[in-house]
Amino acid sequence: MAESFGVDAERYDRTRRAYPDELVNRIIAASPGRDLLDVGAGTGIAARQFRAAGCTVLGVEPDPRMAEFARRTGIEVEVATFEDWEPAGRTFDAAVAATAWHWIDPVAGAAKAARVLRPGGRLAAFWHVYTMPPALTAAFAEIYPRLLPDLPLGARTDKTSMEGYRPMFTMAADGIREAGRFGEPEEWTFDWKCSYTRDEWLDQLPTSGVLTRLPQDRLDPLLAEVGAAIDAQGGRFTMDYTTVVVTAVTR
């Protein structure tokens, strides 16, 4: 699944949301300099934000399709998994992972990051956590298990989005601790909202990790029912987002 997102890199880049400017600026301000490594760079969404804020960015990305898209936007990217990537003596002021750290071994990844970070360098892994309006949450909780009973998405509807993501954040923090090269991890949060039309939501939905490999004859009925549910709520909705950062500094 980790290397399935490149099946439609253009759609991924077009529909996936960028990260709060406040997050980007805080990471830069809390790092010793502006040389940045983007781990799991994807199509370069976060990398372009950090570059626009004055950073020099190198991406590492295992999917050559995603890496090629990022290169076309001016981001330098090397194709490798982070665990196998060879830094060749290069060091950085910060290593970030934008919606990517959960694909990396949390201990080996933290140890590798510590190797390439300069003294006082910062590791920052971050994710978007989103909360649907209650009516859509209820509708999707019925649609997904019925149409996709063999997929994990929708299997649990008794947890909030943050509760669902919490094990991921805990794993990242525990991996940083176990690597033994960082100070105590911190958690930063940034709250924001985003409005979607029916078509905008359906455009991004196939970029979800559990749907990227779904055959079209199974995806189409899902899109139709999700679209109908959004239409029933007026054809658009506003999503509450919290972007969560797990971060620590080398010692």
State pLDDT tens for residues 24-62. Answer: 999 999 999 999 999 999 999 999 999 999 999 999 999
Q: What is the pLDDT of residue 210?
A: 75
Write down the number of H helices and E strands in the chain.
Answer: 9, 7
Distance CA 244, CA 251 (A): 23
pTM for the model stands at 0.92
- Secondary structure letter of residue 250 according to DSSP: B
Round the average pLDDT of the chain to a whole number and report it: 93
DSSP class per residue in 134-197: HHHHHHHHHHHHHH-TTSSTTS--SS-HHHHHHHHHHHHHHHHHHHTSB---EEEEEEEEEEEE
Asked whether the predicted pLDDT for residue 221 surpasses 50, the reply is yes
Place of tokens 């959960």: 102
Distance CA 174, CA 185 (A): 9
- Secondary structure letter of residue 16 according to DSSP: S
Query: How far are the Cα atoms of 132, 205, 219, 237 from residue 198, in angstroms, in the given order?
Result: 13, 11, 16, 8
Buried b (16+ CB within 10 A) or exposed e, 202-229: beeebbeeebbebeeeebeebbebbbeb
SS3 call for 251: coil
Amino acid letter, 89: G
Q: Could you tell me the fold of the domain covering 5-132+160-194+241-249?
A: Rossmann fold (3.40.50)
Task: Report domain extents, the chain.
Answer: 5-132+160-194+241-249
Token output for 230: 């959004």
Q: What is the pLDDT of residue 158?
A: 47
DSSP class per residue in 64-128: HHHHHHHHHTT-EEEES-TTT---TT--EEEEEEES-GGGS-HHHHHHHHHHHEEEEEEEEEEEE
Find the range with the poorest average confidence among 6-15, 20-29, 155-164, 240-249.
Answer: 155-164
SS3 call for 145: helix
Distance CA 229, CA 201 (A): 12
> Per-residue confidence at 164, pLDDT binned at 50, 70, 90?
confident
- Secondary structure letter of residue 40 according to DSSP: T
